[in-house]
């Protein structure tokens, strides 16, 4: 293995040997071969260690932590171990298409600042459907916090970013580490904080380069996250986001977590919060009402019908991201959790089948 690889790949995992083995193989199958793959096992896990040992590739390194610290801590550990100038993140239950890193490195050459974040579209695969997201790329001059949170439709948004799409300078990921202890909105939190630095911009490859697997029946830690903790997190990042983004997060993401309480007190509290510190628009108010008045499964069915999603097995459509980020109804893999965006999708991974082409048009936008 060369002393300094071109890209370091960081994959946090725990107790999912089959899934992480699939993720590792997709990284090792990249057309860019000068890489190292660092799997950070979040605590003692003999089965995962055995599964990874069977892969037998010298580019693979395994770091086992003495105790569980959560995915953000495991990612930060992997970044500290990275030896390459670029680090790409991959969740253990997702996959990369073979040209993912090549396309992102090509797009990075067009960056106009010193520390570009390079993301991409992905294919969101759920038991119900598969589709490409985000629906659109950021527009020139559009605040990234608004791109990732504002909705343009009642049941869907447009912007989105997910962990497995992110490649960034290793130095930036060390300078701006993931927030340890944050259970939801990890990508949104990190992206907002990173793009607040003057030497950082976000570029998104136009083609889908990641397969985001969302098993709607798989237990998700983010599904049990209390809305109060998310509101406290929002208070902390308020200086870094616009009033429109603040209102959108409060009235869609946090409300989707709080709505199951069916508490009129919580309803009034969140509405007042959005109006006091944010600048809600008509779509925000309509989204807020449908989240509180319609049962989640009915919202999902209506959303799918409106978007005309393809059933799984058909070609991926460029539709709204599955539920998994700001502006997404809680329901699919980590609703409003890993994977964030106004794409109206909740989840923590999304993808589609196909062959990734060369890097497409990237949006050069700062927060």
* pLDDT tens digits, 12-30: 999 999 999 999 999 999 9
Q: What is the pLDDT of residue 325?
A: 37
Q: What is the pLDDT of residue 336?
A: 31
The answer to whether residue 288 scores a pLDDT higher than 80 is yes
Q: Give the chain's mean pLDDT.
A: 83
Q: Which of 92, 126, 144 is the last residue of a domain?
A: 92
Residue 281 lies in a domain: yes
Q: What is the pLDDT of residue 297?
A: 73
Q: What is the pLDDT of residue 358?
A: 29
Shared-domain flag, residues 86 and 108: no
Segment 33-53 shows an average pLDDT of 97
The answer to whether residue 61 scores a pLDDT higher than 60 is yes
Give me the number of domains the chain comprises.
Answer: 2
CA distances from 94 to 164, 190, 335 (A): 7, 19, 16
Torsion 114-115-121-122 (CA) sign: positive
Shared-domain flag, residues 133 and 197: yes
Segment 103-117 shows an average pLDDT of 97
The answer to whether residue 329 scores a pLDDT higher than 80 is no
Q: What is the pLDDT of residue 298?
A: 76
Shared-domain flag, residues 317 and 353: yes
Comparison of pLDDT for 59 and 348, the residue scoring more: 59
The answer to whether residue 315 scores a pLDDT higher than 80 is no
Shared-domain flag, residues 134 and 41: no
Split at pLDDT 50, 70, 90, the class of 337 is very low
Q: Worst-scoring range by mean pLDDT, 16-20, 26-30, 211-215, 259-263?
A: 211-215
Distance CA 94, CA 337 (A): 15
Shared-domain flag, residues 131 and 248: yes
Residue for token pair 């944010």: 278
Structure tokens at 306: 């409106």
Segment 262-275 shows an average pLDDT of 97
Contacts of 42 (CB under 8 A, 6+ apart): 12, 13, 14, 65, 68, 69, 70, 71, 73, 74
Q: Which of 70, 92, 114 is the last residue of a domain?
A: 92
The answer to whether residue 117 scores a pLDDT higher than 70 is yes
Q: What is the pLDDT of residue 89?
A: 98
Contacts of 195 (CB under 8 A, 6+ apart): 117, 144, 201, 202, 366, 367
Distance CA 287, CA 282 (A): 9
Segment 213-230 shows an average pLDDT of 66
Shared-domain flag, residues 198 and 328: yes
CA distances from 67 to 73, 74, 125, 186, 315 (A): 11, 10, 32, 21, 42
In our burial notation (b when 16+ CB lie closer than 10 A, e otherwise), range 283-300 reads: bbeebbebbbebebeebb
Q: What is the pLDDT of residue 328?
A: 31
Q: What is the DSSP letter of 223?
A: G
The answer to whether residue 244 scores a pLDDT higher than 50 is yes
Q: Which of 92, 118, 146 is the last residue of a domain?
A: 92
The answer to whether residue 196 scores a pLDDT higher than 50 is yes
Segment 345-366 shows an average pLDDT of 31
Quick check: helix, strand or coil at residue 349? coil
Are 336 and 160 in contact, with CB atoms under 8 Å apart?
no
Quick check: helix, strand or coil at residue 83? coil
Please write the tens of the pLDDT for every residue from 147-178.
999 988 766 678 999 999 999 999 999 999 99
Distance CA 247, CA 276 (A): 9
Biggest CA-to-CA distance, the chain: 60
Comparison of pLDDT for 161 and 337, the residue scoring more: 161
First to last CA, the chain: 38
CA distances from 76 to 31, 79, 99, 240 (A): 26, 5, 25, 22
Q: What is the pLDDT of residue 86?
A: 98
Structure tokens at 36: 């190292």
Q: What is the pLDDT of residue 341?
A: 63
The answer to whether residue 335 scores a pLDDT higher than 90 is no
Shared-domain flag, residues 77 and 140: no
Are 345 and 124 in contact, with CB atoms under 8 Å apart?
yes
> Which residues is 7 bridged to in the sheet?
35, 86
Residue 65 lies in a domain: yes
Residue for token pair 């460029």: 318
Q: What is the CATH number of the domain that holds 46?
A: 3.90.550.10
Segment 252-256 shows an average pLDDT of 93
Domain encompassing residue 108: 100-157+185-367
Q: What is the pLDDT of residue 106?
A: 97
Segment 263-281 shows an average pLDDT of 97
Shared-domain flag, residues 37 and 114: no
Are 269 and 242 in contact, with CB atoms under 8 Å apart?
no
Contacts of 262 (CB under 8 A, 6+ apart): none
Q: What is the pLDDT of residue 294?
A: 86
Shared-domain flag, residues 56 and 115: no
Residue 214 lies in a domain: yes
Q: What percent of the chain has pLDDT over 90?
A: 71
Pairing of strands 317-318, 7-13: unpaired
Of the candidates 334, 342, 345, 339, the residue with the CA atom closest to the CA atom of residue 166? 339
Shared-domain flag, residues 264 and 338: yes
pTM of the model: 0.82
């Amino acid at each position: 293995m060369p002393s300094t690889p071109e890209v370091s790949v960081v994959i946090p995992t725990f107790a999912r040997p089959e899934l992480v083995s699939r993720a590792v193989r997709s990284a090792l199958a990249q057309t860019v071969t000068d890489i190292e793959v660092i799997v950070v096992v979040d605590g003692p896990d003999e089965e995962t260690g055995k599964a990874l040992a069977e892969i037998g590739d010298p580019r693979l390194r395994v770091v086992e932590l003495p105790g569980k610290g959560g995915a953000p801590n495991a990612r930060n550990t992997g970044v500290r171990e990275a030896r390459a100038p670029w680090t790409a993140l991959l969740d253990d239950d997702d996959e990369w298409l073979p040209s993912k890193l090549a396309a992102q490195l090509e797009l990075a050459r067009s960056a106009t600042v010193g520390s570009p974040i390079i993301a991409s579209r992905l294919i969101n695969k759920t038991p119900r459907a598969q589709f490409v997201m985000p629906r659109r790329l950021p527009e020139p001059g559009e605040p990234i916090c608004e791109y990732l949170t504002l909705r343009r439709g009642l049941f869907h948004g447009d912007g989105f970013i997910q962990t497995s799409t992110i490649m960034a300078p290793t130095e930036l990921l060390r300078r701006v580490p993931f927030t340890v202890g944050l259970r939801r909105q990890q990508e949104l939190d990190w992206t907002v904080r990173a793009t607040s630095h003057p030497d950082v911009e976000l570029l998104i490859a136009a083609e889908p380069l990641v397969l985001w697997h969302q098993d709607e029946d798989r237990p998700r830690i983010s599904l049990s996250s209390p809305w109060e903790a998310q509101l406290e997190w929002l208070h902390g990042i308020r200086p870094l986001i616009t009033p429109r983004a603040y209102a959108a997060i409060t009235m869609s993401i946090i409300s989707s977590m709080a709505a199951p309480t069916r508490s009129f007190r919580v309803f009034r509290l969140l509405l007042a919060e959005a109006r006091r510190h944010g600048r809600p628009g008509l779509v925000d108010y309509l989204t807020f009402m449908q989240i509180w008045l319609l049962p989640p499964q009915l919202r999902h069915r209506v959303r799918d019908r409106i978007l005309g999603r393809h059933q799984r097995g058909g070609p991926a459509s460029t539709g709204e991201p599955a539920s998994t980020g700001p502006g997404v109804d809680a329901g699919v893999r980590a609703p409003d959790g890993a994977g964030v965006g106004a794409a109206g999708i909740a989840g923590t991974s999304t993808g589609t089948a196909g062959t990734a082409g060369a890097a497409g048009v990237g949006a050069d936008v700062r927060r």
